[in-house]
Amino acid sequence: MSKYIEQIKKLVSLQGIDTELIDLKNKMEEAPKHLEMLQNELDSLEDQKAQLEERLKLLNDQKKKLEHDIEEDAGKIKKSKNKLMMVSNTREYHAMMREMDNLEKLNRFREEELNNLMEELQSQQSKKEELTQQIKSLRDELDACQATLDSELQQIQERILELERARKKACADIPVPILSRYNFIKDRLHNPVIVSVRQSVCTGCFISIPPQSFVEIQKGEQILSCPNCQRLIYWEEHYSGNKE
């Protein structure tokens, strides 16, 4: 193998390491997103539940007050009925009858309100139970997701350490001026840094290189850059990076 091909081969294998590193670092950023989504969903359900509990408390207070008022006025009516037997004055009798009538009407109205309230309470209560169930299953999912994520992240981190060691070794094998060119491009362009030229097209930017450059690259003497995207290029007939 010529020295030129040897260098291309080393650069392509460095490229392989860098591509995997970039890929893993993206994965590390993406991985917690599903967890965050579940957490947001859980927070919103907890909020809904808290609101529902407040509403239930309010309805229960209303219920207590209504029950108390009904009982109180029922007591008044009962007392009036007893007193009614002893009233001889017609005007007083009618006044008491009217008052009792009003109280009875008021209580019938309250009973109706109480019925509506009980229905509302029941429906809110079953909503709360449903919500509690949802929260429980979401929390289970979240716990499972967290456990998976932790082991996934740990695996990724271990692989990154491995790759960083491999990268150091790969770099040590490449002549400094070539490595500097590689790193210069790496810091400025989107991955990849080194790409093949297929027929006469750069596979980094998919633009044809000039015929003169294509003739140069086929000679396989020095490492060229794509005049369009500046990536390092090599002729694919010289070396196929896929086969080791």
Q: Is the CB of 100 or the CB of 224 nearer to Zn ion? A: 224
- Residue span binding Zn ion (CB under 5 A) among the ranges 18-26, 81-89, 124-132, 220-228: 220-228
| Residue whose CB is less far from Zn ion, 13 or 225 | 225
Q: How far is the CB of 201 from Zn ion (least distance, A)?
A: 9
Q: Which of 14, 18, 170, 204 binds Zn ion (CB under 5 A)?
A: 204
Is 229 a binder of Zn ion (CB under 5 A)?
yes
Task: Report if residue 11 touches Zn ion, rule: CB under 5 A.
Answer: no
Binding of Zn ion by 8 (CB under 5 A)? no
Give phi and psi for 195, each to the nearest 5.
Answer: -135, 160
Return the sign of the alpha-carbon dihedral for residues 156, 159, 163, 165: positive
Stretch that binds Zn ion, among 23-31, 63-71, 172-180, 195-203 (CB under 5 A): 195-203
- φ, ψ of residue 225 to 5 degrees: the values are -110, 150
Spell out a b/e string for 2-39, using b for 16 or more CB atoms within 10 Å of the CB, else e: eebeebbbbbbbbbbbbebbeeeeeeeeebeeeeeebe
The count of residues interacting with Zn ion (CB under 5 A) is 6
Q: Which is nearer to Zn ion, 124 or 225 (CB)?
A: 225
Q: What is the amino acid identity at position 59? A: L
Q: Does 70 bind Zn ion (CB under 5 A)?
A: no
> What's the rounded Cα separation, in Å, for the pair 191 and 185?
9
DSSP category for residue 199: T
Residue 129 CA to residue 16 CA, distance in Å, equals 54
* Minimum distance of Zn ion from residue 240's CB (angstroms): 18
| Interface residue with Zn ion, options 185, 194, 197, 202 (CB under 5 A) | 202
**Which residue ranges make up the site for Zn ion (CB under 5 A)?**
202, 204-205, 226, 228-229
